[in-house]
């Protein structure tokens, strides 16, 4: 019996093909047209045999019952190093060769079965489903975990690598007797983990996870995600791993702090933005949430920054990117009417932006710093002028023609002397998303007053 079809029902598990159960070995070859074939007997064409590989079926079928550990929660809710999930691969099997990964059942009552053979080697997980399953468990336990989004991996103070080293799957695609749900599946996984900080390994270990959805109609995708989540919980339940998460916490969120404690400094008007642009760039931050990102500016070296209220939304804690470091920040105060929020975090050293004492005049040069569109574009500087001063619903705004795009929200705006005169809030865009060079800024005195900072 020759079988050359892919087992398409497995949505996430890459590279699985179905073969007759009980075979002592599988033959793999390509015909003259380049088509790939698998069989439990060698091909009849002698001329083809030279290109035939025999893959020995190894390994049994896994135990789908795995003991569970309760994740050790972060003892300081909202306080943790940000962990970057830098690698997630599927590499089942110790030698990289094909092996039995489970069984596919068929027939009216799932009485027939064929082997599922993994023949893909190592696969780098490009989709987000498995990565986000791990991130969800970390966040539920009070730890921040960043996953790659469109090539943008938020840098963290800790680096986590994950390898799925063993997988067993049973699945039936036909209605089972007494099972009104029809399709069912069960999945077992074994994960290998490595946690590192600045190139030094903090933890190496493994954990298991499983989910039995055989009688409740669970798809392979759902069962696999649940198994990976349990493996993540079991990792977080390892006291040694949890201790290393705490030990690597070099940048913890500041849990205390009020607006009255903010100590701003003023500029003297005697400097130039271009002469101090490096320092002003260091005062700009990127603010990231689960919904996206915006910009912000440090106004106190003790760890206070301004951004827009719509950037942080209802979040209590957000992620702040400062240079090549990522850390957690607490939302100390927010004013939705004025669209301003005050953040507090711990890091050293910090470069605070000097505040302008005076107000800019129409026609004065302005410099905008932010992270437009993508994290890759952080610390972008654009230049324009103060086009006009506007009143909207009793509130004063500055209008500028400096280029501003989504992601700039909350970022600093400096005058020619390099002093903070405003933060970005909104802009007008055409239907293609391009800026119309009509952008609005919140004057710094109104921004500070909205969150209770004395000025």
> What's this model's pTM, rounded to 2 decimal places?
0.51
Between 143 and 433, residue with greater pLDDT: 143
On the question of pLDDT at 424 being above 60, the answer is yes
CA 36 to chain centre: 37
Provide the token pair at 19: 């073969």
Helix (H) or strand (E) holding 447: helix 444-450
What residue segments make up the domains of the chain, in order of their start?
A: 82-247, 259-450
**Domain 82-247, CATH number (from 3.30.530, 3.40.50, 1.20.1270, 3.30.160):** 3.30.160
259-450 matches 82-247 in CATH topology: no
pLDDT at 35: 63
Asked whether 446 and 397 are in contact (CB, 8 A), the reply is no
Between 303 and 84, residue with greater pLDDT: 303
The CA–CA distances, whole Å, from 64 to 13, 39, 210 equal 17, 28, 6
The CA–CA distances, whole Å, from 388 to 40, 52, 75, 347, 441 equal 79, 76, 50, 37, 11
Nearest to 144 by CA among 71, 229, 80: 80
Give pLDDT tens digits for 85-137.
Answer: 888 888 776 555 667 788 888 776 677 778 787 776 667 766 578 888 898 88
pLDDT above 70 covers what percent of the chain? 71
Write phi, then psi, for 343 (nearest 5 degrees).
Answer: -110, 155
On the question of pLDDT at 264 being above 50, the answer is yes
pLDDT at 253: 46
The architecture in CATH of the region 259-450 reads Beta Barrel (2.40)
pLDDT at 17: 54
On the question of pLDDT at 348 being above 70, the answer is yes
Cα–Cα dist 385/366, whole Å? 5
Quickly count: other Cβ atoms within 10 Å of residue 150's Cβ.
9
Between 29 and 87, residue with greater pLDDT: 87
């Amino acid at each position: 019996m020759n079988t050359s079809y892919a087992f398409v029902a497995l949505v996430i598990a890459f590279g699985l093909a179905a073969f007759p159960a009980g075979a002592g070995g599988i033959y793999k070859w390509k015909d003259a047209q380049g088509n790939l074939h698998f069989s439990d007997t060698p091909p009849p064409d002698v001329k083809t045999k030279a290109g035939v590989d025999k893959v020995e079926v190894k390994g049994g079928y896994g135990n789908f019952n795995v003991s569970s550990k309760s994740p050790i929660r972060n003892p300081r809710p909202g306080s943790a190093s940000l962990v970057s999930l830098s690698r997630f691969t599927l590499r089942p099997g110790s030698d990289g060769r094909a092996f039995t990964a489970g069984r596919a059942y068929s027939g009216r009552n799932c009485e027939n079965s064929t082997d599922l053979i993994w023949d893909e080697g190592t696969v780098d997980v490009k989709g987000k489903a498995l990565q986000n399953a791990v991130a969800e468990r970390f966040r539920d336990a009070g730890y921040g975990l960043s996953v790659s989004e469109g090539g943008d991996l938020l840098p963290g103070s800790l680096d986590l690598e994950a390898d799925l080293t063993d997988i067993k799957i049973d699945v039936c695609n036909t209605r089972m007797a007494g099972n009104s749900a029809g399709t069912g599946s069960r999945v077992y996984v074994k994960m290998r983990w490595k946690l590192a900080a600045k190139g030094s390994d903090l933890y190496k270990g493994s954990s298991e996870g499983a989910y039995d959805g055989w009688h409740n109609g669970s798809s392979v995708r759902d069962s696999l995600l649940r198994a990976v989540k349990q493996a993540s919980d079991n990792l977080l339940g390892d006291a040694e791993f949890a201790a290393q998460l705490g030990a690597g916490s070099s940048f913890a969120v500041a849990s205390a702090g009020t607006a009255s404690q903010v100590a701003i400094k003023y500029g003297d008007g005697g400097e130039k933005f271009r002469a101090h642009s490096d320092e002003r760039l260091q005062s700009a931050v990127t603010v990231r949430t689960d919904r996206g990102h915006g910009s912000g500016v440090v106004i106190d070296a003790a760890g206070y920054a301004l951004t827009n209220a719509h950037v942080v939304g209802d979040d209590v804690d957000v992620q702040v990117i400062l240079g090549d470091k990522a850390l957690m920040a607490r939302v100390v105060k927010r004013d939705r009417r004025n669209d301003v929020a005050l953040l507090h975090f711990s890091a050293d050293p910090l470069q605070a932006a000097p505040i302008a004492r005076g107000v800019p005049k129409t026609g004065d040069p302005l410099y905008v710093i932010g992270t437009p569109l993508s994290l890759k574009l952080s610390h972008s500087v654009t230049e324009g002028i103060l086009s006009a001063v506007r009143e909207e619903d009793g509130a004063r705004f500055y209008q500028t023609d400096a280029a501003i795009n989504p992601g700039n929200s909350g970022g600093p705006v400096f005058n020619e002397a390099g002093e903070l005169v405003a933060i970005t809030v909104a802009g007008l865009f055409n239907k293609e998303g391009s800026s119309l060079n009509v952008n609005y800024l919140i004057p710094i005195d109104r921004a500070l007053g909205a969150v209770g900072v004395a000025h």
